[in-house]
Every structure is written in structure tokens, then in C-alpha cells.
A and B are shown apart, each in its own frame.
Chain A
Amino acid sequence: MQKFSALSLARQALGGHLGWTPQWRSVAPKPAYDIVIVGGGGHGLGTAYYLAKQHGLRNIAVIERGWLAGGNTARNTTIIRSNYLFDESSSYYEHSLKLWENLSQELNYNVMFSQRGCLMVAHTVHDVQVFKRHVHANRLNGIDNEWLSAEEAKEFCPPLNISPNIRYPVLGASLQRRAGTARHDAVAWGFARAASDMGVDIIENCEVTGILRGPGGEVRGVETTRGTIRAGKVGVSAAGHSSVVMGMAGIRLPLQSNPLQALVSEPVKPAFPTIVMSNTIHAYISQSDKGEMVIGAGTDSYVSYTQRGGLHIPAHTLEAICELFPMFRRLRMLRSWGGITDNTPDRSPITAKTPVPGLYVNCGWGTGGFKATPGAANLFAWTIAKNEPHPINAPFTIERFRDGVMIDEAAAAAVAH
């Protein structure tokens, strides 16, 4: 792997940058691997990376139906935070946040993790109660999260409209300072590069079309559009397509795939220092390093695999943005798009073994799994390597829906990003 640094950049500059080599090897599939990961998004690539890095496994393939990380990894609003309510979730997301904090260095790839803080704005007395509950729960879990008055929130984020005369005045906000954003593509590319360097095969434009089973029902590999690939273990990390892929093994999941939309403004000079989320009036916004306002819109209500939705959804979001930040009304939408999110009934993920031996699944991240990318990858790798979950992801099973032990962050907080 070519080392990335200011020095190597300078050296290459002298040669007109002709000396750079592919960041990952995009290869044709071999007939067999020890482990096949289905889905080359951030989660799948990260899983392969940690399998290689932490568990010493090398004979691994990541199979991606399209271009690498072209799913939700390419299309999310990049909010990273760990201030979730329940112990189970917060320890999962905090595990991830800790990995984020060193990811650029670990991967030798600048993923631009920018810990600019995340303000969650409260508009009602109920919001205040809920957010304070988060603040207290987080503090005792060792996760930073603090309560700010409306004035303090404005000081932290000057564009915020805290006038008492707006329809839903801002009553205060919780702030996780360690929260932030990262360059979404870079995360996937960084994992791909590092994994590839350790021998992982990255196979693009290869769609898994079937899951091969042995006589005992155990996994034997996958059928793909590029032929049969045998494998002792298969880890599925297909986000919006999880139901489709798992359906090939006869497993129904508690998932619904919905379009989730996002948009960016034209770029402007730095005007927004942090991330602001308002669950009550549905607005999520931050400004990228390039200058666009990155804005998360809502979910279309129906199942769809089209990666697009209705214009009324982003329009509704922009109403909220304009209300909270009336000086941004004259900014303009540059591009809007959709992704396919896989949502569970309790809005918490599944990272687990399945009833099929040798088949593992990491899914249900819905509208909020970018932040979990290194964490989920790390724990999914553990689960596959050891054939048992790590204590952190142990509660995140499929069976929790049967047993009634849901981890319902949404019900507790009405938020999933």
C-alpha cells in the first residue's frame, strides 16, 4: 500500500502524479473464499477490514452489485454521534465513535472526521424531558452530552433562530461535542484500500442472486451474476436490500425498505459551525467542508427500491430549515437524492447470527447507520470470526422481536439519525 502523507504527495507532484497506483484491487471472483461479505458499503468493507486486521483472516471477498459504496454510504448526511438513550445502543454507537476518532490514522486515509458537535434542539416541554433523559443517561455511560439553554445553543450555533415568536420556539438543546461529520466516501475507500492491502478481494459489479446451502442447511457460498462463489461463511451487509438477500436463504426479516431523501445547497463560505437536528419539526443540517449545506429530509412512507421519492418530502424539510434559519431562505437547493433504508420496527439494527449456520447479517441500520460504520463493521467481524456475538452487539438479534426485548430508541426519543 502506498503510504499517504504530505511527503508522498509532494514526491508524486514532482512526477506529475503518474506514480500513484489503484487504491484497491478490483478483482474477478475466485471460486472459493473462507468468508464472503455481501454488500460493499462502508459496513461490508469495514467488516472485511476488521476480519483481516483483528482476526487474522485473509481469504475474504467483498461482493458488491454496483460500484463500491454506491448505496447508502454514498448518500447519507454523515451525522455521527453516540448520544443514544438505552445502554445497549449507546454502548454500540460509542464503540463506533471511539473508532472514528482514530480512523484516519488507522487507515492512513483522511476520512475528515470533524468533531464539530451536534445540537439537538428542543421545542416542547416534552422534548426537554426527553433530551435531558438522554443527557443524564449518557453522562453515566461515559458519553458526553450536555444540556444548553436556548441562549447557549445560539452562542454555539449563531444562525439558530431562538426568537420566542416562532411557531415552535427553541427551548434549549442537547449538545454532544464529540459528535461530528465525516467524508462519507472516504470511509469506504479507506476501508477498501486497507482491506485490499491485506489481501481481501474486492469484487464490484457482481450481484449476489442466491445463497448456496449444504445438506444440513448450512451456508456453502453464493450464486452471483459472475458465477458461483463458495464460502464457509457469508456475512450479509446489504442495507436497503437486506430483505432481498436474506430472502434467498428463506429468512424473512422485520424490515421495511423506504426511500430516505437528502439534499445539498449550493456551496457558500463557512456559515454553519455545527450539526443541528430538530426532531420535532424534522430538520437536520450541517455544512460540508466544501461549503454545501447538507440537509437530511424525511422518509417516504411506502416501500420502495427506487432511490427517489416525492418532492414534498424535501419541501417539508426546507420549511423547517427556513423556520429555524430564516437567513438561509435565499440559499438554493443544488441537488437532492434518495437512498433505500432498511428500517426495523424498533429502529435499532440487527448484527447477529441467523438461523442458518454460517450465515450472518448486519442490517436494519435504517436512517442512521453511517455513524456506526466502523463500530458495526468491527463487531460484525467479531461475530463472524468467532461465530458468536461480541457482548456489545449481543442484544441486537433477530430473535428480540420474537421475545419482545426490543431496543426502541425511536419510541423513546422519536429520532433515528
Chain B
Amino acid sequence: MLLIRCPYCGDRAEIEFANGGEAHIARPADPMTQTDEEWAQYLYMRDNPKGLIAERWRHAHGCNRFFNALRDTRTDRFVTTYEMGQPRPEIDAAAAAEAAR
């Protein structure tokens, strides 16, 4: 069971959280101007990376806030978690290597 650091509540067990899929996929400001192709990209197409993923979690059974996390999907190690609305953090090679370990 993962240990996830809620930016508001601290470390909590995974069962308190709901995963919200890939992060930083903003809903288009005006969906009606999107082509079908663009809309499908937004709605369904995912990077599904093997490596670092920016993903959303909701502390569903805690403070109820969404936040983002950077995690390596090869190891399930978290690099960091950060509040909604913040950009995806740049991380250095050492941190990336540590997450991949």
C-alpha cells in the first residue's frame, strides 16, 4: 500500500486516496471550438508513461483535496507531491535516478 504525502495532511496510506489519472491535462477553455480529434486527445489519449508520471490524487477520505504527484511508474516511488495549480516541478537527474531505483 503506497504511502502518499498529502500536501495538507502529511503522509497517509493509499487507501485514503483516490487516484485521478494523469495531471496537467487542462480542460479546453472552449470545448466547442475543438475538432473531434483534439477533443479525443483531451478526453481519452494518454501518455501512460513508463517512468515519471505527473498524476492527480484526491485525499478522498481525508481533507478531500486534489493535489498532484510526481511518481515513477517503474518503481512506484514518489518524487514529490504539490498543490493543484502549481506547474509540474522540474527535477534534477539525481532525484529522477533516485525515483527510478
Contact = CB atoms under 8 A, between A and B. Distances in A.
Nearest to B21: A256
A270 interface: no
B53 interface: yes
A255 B48 contact: yes
A38 to B, nearest CB: 15
A243 B47 contact: yes
Contact of A305 (B18, B47, B73): B73
A257 B40 CA distance: 19
Contacts of A402: 36-37, 39-40
Contacts of A312: 1, 14-15
Contacts of A310: 1-2, 14-15
Contacts of B75: 306
Given A310-B1, A402-B36, A257 B48 contact: yes
Q: Classify the secondary structure of B's interface with A.
A: mixed
A276 to B, nearest CB: 26
Interface residues of B, number: 28
Contact of A254 (B19, B44, B49, B55): B44
B12 interface: no
A401 interface: yes
A345 B1 CA distance: 25
A11 interface: no
A315 to B, nearest CB: 10
A319 B1 CA distance: 17
Contacts of A198: none
Contacts of A305: 50, 73-74
30 contacts: A243-B47, A243-B48, A243-B50, A252-B46, A252-B47, A253-B45, A253-B46, A253-B48, A254-B40, A254-B46, A256-B48, A257-B50, A257-B73, A302-B2, A302-B76, A303-B22, A303-B49, A303-B53, A305-B50, A306-B74, A310-B1, A310-B2, A310-B15, A345-B43, A345-B44, A401-B40, A401-B44, A402-B37, A402-B40, A403-B36
Interface of A: 241, 243-244, 247, 252-257, 301-306, 310-312, 345, 401-403
